[in-house]
Amino acid sequence: MHIATWSGPRNLSTAMMYAFAARGDCAVVDEPFYAAYLARTGLNHPMRDAIIASQPTDPAKVVAALTVPAPGGKAHFYQKHMAQHMIPGMPRDWITRVTNVFLIRHPARVAASFSAKYENPVLADIGFTQQAELYDQINAAGGRPVVIDSSDIRRDPETMLARLCDAIGLPWDPAMLRWPEGGHPDDGVWAAHWYGSVHRSAGFAPSEGPLPDLTGAAADLADAAMPAYRKLRAVAI
């Protein structure tokens, strides 16, 4: 099985990649379109040059690597994707041939966390509208995408991950609940900037507290993302 999980930044996506890698039967890949996205947009993300040097910038080459049998002879291939990377010109025809999962998080939490790491983010940077668009595209093509909220996972990891596995037709494996501290060999080169907290973890963090009290640009960003979040939250497992 090829599993494409579509997230946005600061959204439990790396922990989810580690959970699937911990099964032992899943190969994983970390944001394979990142270099192509940066090369096409010209955005000055942290570690931009290192990211572009670390991955193919030709999206056709990325797709070719995503649609072959899972690396290492594994039974399954878990692909961690950022929805905002799928800008116009990125091929999408392959998406309906894989199992698709949408990982969402409340926009207030994303806006607060991402703004602390990236200066002056805009709606296009955080993936919500792109998630909703991709979800609609897959549904229109007859796919059955699954939506899961990161807050539900953190509240009850075993129940929610077992539910996710059932929804996509994958046997549940309790090994998904724990992983070694210190990161994963398949982390993207950008891990040094973004993955500090998850590298110090060996499992999912506990339930989140109250929503952050946002003001100014961060509050506006969260408000702009709410319609897309509500749309997907309404169909979450």
What single string gives the DSSP state of each residue in 173-199? Answer: -GGGGB--TT--TT--TTHHHH-HHHH
Nearest Cα neighbor of 64 from 32, 41, 21, 88 is 32
Q: Is the pLDDT of residue 78 over 90?
A: yes
What residue spans define the domains of the chain?
2-233
Confidence (pTM): 0.95
What rounded mean pLDDT belongs to the chain?
A: 94
First-to-final CA distance of the chain? 20
pLDDT digits (tens, 9 = 90+) for 16-65: 999 999 999 999 999 999 999 999 999 999 999 999 999 999 999 999 99
CATH class entry, domain 2-233: alpha beta
Assigned token pair, 56: 């193919």
Task: Identify the pLDDT of residue 100.
Answer: 98
pLDDT digits (tens, 9 = 90+) for 110-149: 999 887 777 788 999 999 999 999 999 999 999 999 999 9
Q: Where are the alpha helices (DSSP H) in the chain?
A: 13-21, 34-41, 48-54, 59-66, 107-115, 128-140, 150-155, 157-168, 191-194, 196-199, 216-233
